[in-house]
Structure 1
């Protein structure tokens, strides 16, 4: 078994919990079956194990450097990116007509999880290109699609998302990058700068294609005036590729995730940078949100993958490291015990297991809803779209925040050794920290959930999700096993707590919007724990069913581990909703009324 993820657990989620094979009943996916999904996952594992994993430490130690105006990255990335292009990973989910494989998002995300667990930095390059190409193929003209996407699919050209500016981070209404029409229709002169652009410049590809937000001169103020442009580093002319007036002003040196460059770019300093309008003017932000929403679920998966790799690294160490003796042992001459026998170490391992496997469960569920939204019709389609929309802030933020804690637990299990570069857990700890920031901070997603998603679609999102959770609780209540009955009853109590807290908060809006949103981040945490409790009840029910029919020792241990992790999550994590509910229902205004001069 690979040291950085569990194929057995991945198969449990896909085939036992989700029954992903049911997607092949839809015409779009009819050419697939369990065998083809397994082949895809096996191929992902081979690339991850043979190409990505060996570069993990090297890419961290030899981070990208800006040399003579170009960012130089690890030499091994050229072969990695080309392999992703040659094997069709970049456009695997797209249609046959576009050269894709019509692969379900659920399976594609499972494969991405394997790549990310092996080497997060290396996995970023190709899938950034996927997102950028998807924007062009969805909203761009036929000319833009034909000109750019084939070379992006091949891996020869990198794709990026260029949003952030020095004085306009999360506040996109304040961006100042401008676009001025030229004499050629759809072609604009671009001026401005962008920062924190992942893979914004590097020498492992022939060209970089930016999907850039800018304001056309004379456009409406705020987000209503934002348009989307394709802005290549090198533009295509009759004479071949020429520079397009983009200067790499710097490369950021980060605490983790060092193998993928993050660039500071200047556009049009020489008044010679051209951008090509995507879709209609002033609709750029709505177009970009397609990529951002996909990327937000992807960020959650990145975090879960890193957390998973850290979990298996600390688990392996705990099974090999002798230290101390059982607390009941009195004879110091007896051999030391392995640290995995100590209750506190088992607690930290269970914490990691419960978070990463619970997160993976939710993230693959989101992929499944994305597939249903794509291929189904009517009420099924609407329900899948609304549930995915509702859960995106949780799927992004819960794994991101919690895997900062689980990777810390991994370091703690290794003790002093975990703080050294002799083991990979210190790298995982550093790399996990970006995800609460990437694609919208946790605070922004808290306000999105509480201030927008709860009331969107007439409140259908919360209604549908409550129905899903209640259906799982009802199934658990029909179990004949006391442990399942117990956690089902606990989740019922927590679900009622959600209703009570949400109703209390909604009484504050819109009369007191500042107080209403003051603890939106805590509401997101509260809701995330409840959502994970739902996923763990689902896993426990399925594990108990499978346990009844399994005769293989390895499977028996696997399912017993699932039941233990579910028990742990309700005993140690779900109980936190009590104090969070108390805080969220209090009208204390300390954070609102605190004055800057008092700090």
Structure 2
């Protein structure tokens, strides 16, 4: 059973986002369509032969804490080392660091294949990528030499250790303490961390935590947070570093990757090594978090894609009922894909997942431009990526909870059983609106910060990009109605935004009370824009006489669906956003 569409991935990368344009930059000049295809084929082989076969078994046999150590699925030992030995963990890094200088866009596409095959197993190596990237970017040469080689080769796991029992999204309240020692850059760490993905497991030889802590005497709040490397075992003597696994969380989905509760410094002997400058830890960590947020959006889109492919295959094979106009019960039943309501649910899945993929690859390409471009191009790419990141993280995360539900619905009673994977996809999708910043946090980030930064310059760039796509679409007769419709909704979104901005200084609580709805509102607009872009690409291919008429017509139908069924949801959201009824602000806890 396919778990993603190879053809759509090719379309997204090479036709719609034109990823080969990146090879014009010196950093990527050694690459070509051939090398990119080789990377994608290699990812597909690993996904098909190593990851997908363990999808169900890793869900049924989840990690266990035994004797103070988390035991994971036996198959993960081979998989983790394979990712390291094949160069996936540091593929985007420079040649000098042993990397391949691969564009992040292609690396993210490979990750999409892995995540669609088996989300749990894909988490291990890419957590290490993020942690190693922090060390190589901000750490001393000694830290780089000590820790990154074995992270790159898959022997050591990397993590991001932020959350504490009383400091989840509110890192201001972080209490893990770092006490200076006589050794320069070495601190004793004391505290606890919870919900640490891959925070301990037996598929690696050591776990390297990138941990936020507050140096004793540091300023209160986020300005006093520093970043430390805290290994589970000390290097090079391999002795325990007083980082103990206190517990393991058993989750509703995504069960194959362990989530640990860690106690640090219970015996006053946990050593941590300062990364970069003191009190700048949160700004360093945000590098990893921003990369991870686009990654979380891709995780959600990948799971949504796998659920769509599963329900599509089922709908083509499952006979049930007859056409509404067919009155003869002796006639054979028809596949359920011929029923309009099933086609509606499939189009919902297709339009949302492929629309989200388009946005995610657009953001990945912006990230590559930030890395290699210069001057105005670099600045504008950075601003646009900042604005789009909360949307790219949240829209796929929220909506794929609904698309995986639609997949279950298409299978009916069968979808509610463990005989088919859609129930697992449904459970695994639900984490993504929560981790790497909840939807509420990203709503506040978008409305309270991103759209206002540099006097709204990012928002202006965003509108300019949409207008550019609208102008291109107006040159194609069949797309003029869609271009005009998007133009109308863009104008409404601008008016709604300006209405909200008027509240920003007068009453910040009212201004931000519906920030999550504003994020949903702008998210729909953004995906509509991406669909118009895909519509242009598909229409031009058909005009050139492409023989793949079914594929491109499917694209145009998905665009039509999104404009007809999803874009119009902005009407209700917009009405709410300009309302003067501040009921959620006025509501009191005791009234519940």
Quick check: TM above 0.5? yes
Q: Residue 556 of structure 2 corresponds to which residue in structure 1?
A: 563
Q: Residue 497 of structure 1 corresponds to which residue in structure 2?
A: 492
Q: Residue 573 of structure 2 corresponds to which residue in structure 1?
A: 580
Cα distance in 2, alignment partners of residues 348 and 248 from structure 1: 44
The offset of 1:486, in angstroms, is 1.0
Cα distance in 1, alignment partners of residues 181 and 391 from structure 2: 43
Q: Residue 117 of structure 1 corresponds to which residue in structure 2?
A: 116
Q: 1:246 aligns with which of 233, 243, 257?
A: 243
Cα distance in 1, alignment partners of residues 204 and 210 from structure 2: 17
Pick closer, same or farther for the CA change 1:206–1:352 going to 2, 3 Å.
same
The 5-angstrom pairing of residues 270-419 of structure 1 reads 270-419=267-416
Q: SS of the residue aligned with 2:207? A: strand
Q: Give a deviation string over 1:167-213, Cα, whole Å, max 9, x none.
A: 11100010110000000000000000000000000000000000000
Cα distance in 1, alignment partners of residues 21 and 589 from structure 2: 56
Cα distance in 2, alignment partners of residues 149 and 551 from structure 1: 47
The offset of 1:460, in angstroms, is 1.2
2:165 pairs with 1:170: no
Cα distance in 1, alignment partners of residues 31 and 219 from structure 2: 47
Cα distance in 2, alignment partners of residues 230 and 175 from structure 1: 17
Q: SS of the residue aligned with 2:310? A: helix
Q: SS of the residue aligned with 1:236? A: coil
Gaps of 5+ in 1: none
2:435 pairs with 1:442: no
The 5-angstrom pairing of residues 129-278 of structure 1 reads 129-237=128-236, 240-278=237-275
The offset of 1:236, in angstroms, is 1.2
Cα distance in 2, alignment partners of residues 143 and 222 from structure 1: 29
Cα distance in 1, alignment partners of residues 438 and 553 from structure 2: 36
Cα distance in 1, alignment partners of residues 453 and 301 from structure 2: 28
Cα distance in 2, alignment partners of residues 596 and 373 from structure 1: 45
Cα distance in 1, alignment partners of residues 9 and 545 from structure 2: 18
The offset of 1:551, in angstroms, is 4.2
2:471 pairs with 1:478: no
Q: Residue 523 of structure 1 corresponds to which residue in structure 2?
A: 518
Q: SS of the residue aligned with 1:533? A: helix
User: More displaced, 458-467 or 316-325?
Assistant: 458-467
Q: 1:533 aligns with which of 496, 512, 528?
A: 528
Q: Residue 98 of structure 1 corresponds to which residue in structure 2?
A: 97
Compute the RMSD of aligned alpha carbons: 0.6
Q: Give a deviation string over 1:483-530, Cα, whole Å, max 9, x none.
A: x11111110000001111000000101110000000000000000000
Q: Residue 422 of structure 1 corresponds to which residue in structure 2?
A: 419
Cα distance in 1, alignment partners of residues 26 and 518 from structure 2: 40
Q: SS of the residue aligned with 2:159? A: strand
The offset of 1:458, in angstroms, is 2.5
Cα distance in 2, alignment partners of residues 456 and 149 from structure 1: 35
Cα distance in 2, alignment partners of residues 549 and 315 from structure 1: 29
Q: SS of the residue aligned with 2:505? A: coil
- TM-score, normalised to structure 2's length? 1.00
Cα distance in 2, alignment partners of residues 515 and 551 from structure 1: 52
Q: Residue 598 of structure 1 corresponds to which residue in structure 2?
A: 591
2:457 pairs with 1:464: no
Number of residues of Structure 1 aligned to a counterpart in Structure 2: 592
- TM-score, normalised to structure 1's length? 0.98
Q: Residue 69 of structure 2 corresponds to which residue in structure 1?
A: 70
Cα distance in 1, alignment partners of residues 88 and 369 from structure 2: 21
Cα distance in 1, alignment partners of residues 188 and 36 from structure 2: 45
Q: SS of the residue aligned with 1:125? A: helix
Pick closer, same or farther for the CA change 1:551–1:296 going to 2, 3 Å.
closer
The offset of 1:550, in angstroms, is 3.6
Cα distance in 2, alignment partners of residues 457 and 365 from structure 1: 22
Q: Residue 42 of structure 2 corresponds to which residue in structure 1?
A: 43
Cα distance in 2, alignment partners of residues 457 and 89 from structure 1: 37
Q: SS of the residue aligned with 2:183? A: coil
2:19 pairs with 1:26: no
Q: SS of the residue aligned with 1:241? A: coil
Gaps of 5+ in 2: none
Cα distance in 1, alignment partners of residues 513 and 20 from structure 2: 43
Cα distance in 1, alignment partners of residues 326 and 488 from structure 2: 41
Q: 1:455 aligns with which of 449, 452, 456?
A: 452
The offset of 1:480, in angstroms, is 2.1
Cα distance in 1, alignment partners of residues 393 and 546 from structure 2: 37
Q: SS of the residue aligned with 2:317? A: coil
